Amino acid sequence: MAKRKQLNVALIGAGFMGRAHSNAHLKVNRFFNLPADVVMHTIVDVAEPAARAAADTWGWRRVVTDIREALADPAIDLVDICLPNYLHAQAAVAAAKAGKAVLCEKPLAHTLADARRMLAAVKQAAVPNFVSFNYRRVPALALARQFIAEGRLGTIYHIRASYLQDWIIDPDFPLVWRLKKELTGSGAHGDLNAHIIDLARFLVGDFDSVSGLMETFIKERPLEVGRQVRGLEGKGGRKKGKVTVDDATLFLARFKNGAVGSFEATRFAQGRKNRNQLEINGSKGSLAFCFERMNELEFMDATQPLAEQGFRTILATEGVHPYMQAWWPPGHIVGYEHTFVNQLADVVRALCSRSKKDRFRPDFADAFEVQKVLEAVGRSARSGRWVKVDSVK
């Protein structure tokens, strides 16, 4: 039998996202029929116990604490970056220079300058590049995109998107890296608005201009002791430090195709845990989605007879729905972790194909566009003016 193509992966960062991606690497060939096998070759983390624990849990074959060792290994094909935002650029640029394909967690970087550097590096090295805006791989949202591409919504007028969480609402929640500008770039904005900006680009189109406001409700928090590993937890000490990012960012947008939108990201929406939701209204219909019911897409088709019109709920779990052929019988729903597996299946297909139809989006160029929108909103919040996204270079 002919030997199947192997894709050797080095995953960098054994924290929360490292777990989500490890699970994807482990599962992808067990559920998807793909042209290559993913090999969980190397796990990298500066903290050796964390790297060892990840290797034991997920089956990574080799443990290293220095990324340079993984990049120097000619066996490695794909570098998967799951580090805090401020470390993305250094890792991605080095991986590109080493000729590796790069998958990077979102947002692309903590600053526009770093994002630009990363884009230039993958272009110069001509390496395949992918960004983990995983919500594009929610089957119901991929279905939304199909409906829009087929013209089922007609001309799009509005997108109304919000991403609401509440995990830092306690003023004693510690000053974790996600609340320090120099490590994360921005707060709810870069963490959550980045996702809905990417989804808006996926579903509606390119941004023209934005007008935003940002607020920090809790200005000081206990300094963190220890390290976050599993998720978003954290332990605070006695000393306090300054919060240097936004707790909430809201903005209005105009799109190049004439549509308009409103966007809101906050970690202060009591009771909303991971409520990534959007509604899109077009001349022929509307779509609505909420991640807390992620298997469902609401669709209103205004071409139906008036007496039958209204929103209906599509349970996007049939084999005809995007990605669902790989999973379970209809109605056997999928969850958060499946979005990362679906995404990795698309990465593997893109790496094995030269065909345009297998091009993976979003890539670094897409994520740089998201970064420009983030930056434009920040500038607008500071100046109180509308900002053209293309004025951000």
- The nearer residue to ligand SOE, 23 or 65, going by C-beta atoms, is 23
Task: Considering the complex, state which of residue 13 and residue 285 has its C-beta at the smaller distance from ligand SOE.
Answer: 13
Q: Of these, 274, 318, 365, 386, which contacts ligand SOE (CB under 6 A)?
A: 274
Q: For ligand SOE, give the closer residue by CB, 100 or 178.
A: 178
User: 217 and 247 in contact (C-beta within 8 Å)?
Assistant: yes
Q: Which two tokens stand for residue 34?
A: 């793909």
Percent helix / strand / coil, the chain, rounded to 5: 40, 25, 35
- The token pair that represents 182 in the structure block: 């120099």
Q: How many CB atoms lie within 10 A of CB 214?
A: 21
Query: Identity (one letter) of the amino acid at 138?
Result: V
Q: Is the CB of 222 or the CB of 234 nearer to ligand SOE?
A: 234
Give the dihedral sign, CA 234/371/156/336.
Answer: negative
Least distance CB 358 / ligand SOE (angstroms): 25
SS3 146: helix
Q: Kindly identify the residues of this chain, within the stretch 144-203, that bind ligand SOE according to CB under 6 A.
A: 165, 191-192
Q: Is 20 left (phi over 0), alpha (psi -120 to 50) or beta?
A: alpha
Q: Of residues 230-249, which lie at the interface with ligand SOE (CB under 6 A)?
A: 232
Q: Tokens for 117?
A: 């550097």
Nearer to ligand SOE, 69 or 233 (CB): 233
Could you tell me the CA-to-CA distances from 182 to 14, 110, 217, 229, 283 in Å, in that order? 21, 8, 19, 20, 44
228 contributes a contact to ligand SOE by CB under 6 A = no
Which residues are bridge partners to 254 per DSSP? 209, 260
Shortest distance (Å) from residue 13 CB to ligand SOE: 13
Nearer to ligand SOE, 192 or 351 (CB): 192
Residue of minimal CB distance from ligand SOE? 191
In the complex, minimum distance from the CB of residue 221 to ligand SOE, in angstroms, rounded to a whole number: 16
Site string for ligand SOE, 51-90 (x = CB under 6 A): ----------------------------------------
- Residues at the contact surface with ligand SOE, assessed by CB under 6 A: 165, 191-192, 232, 274
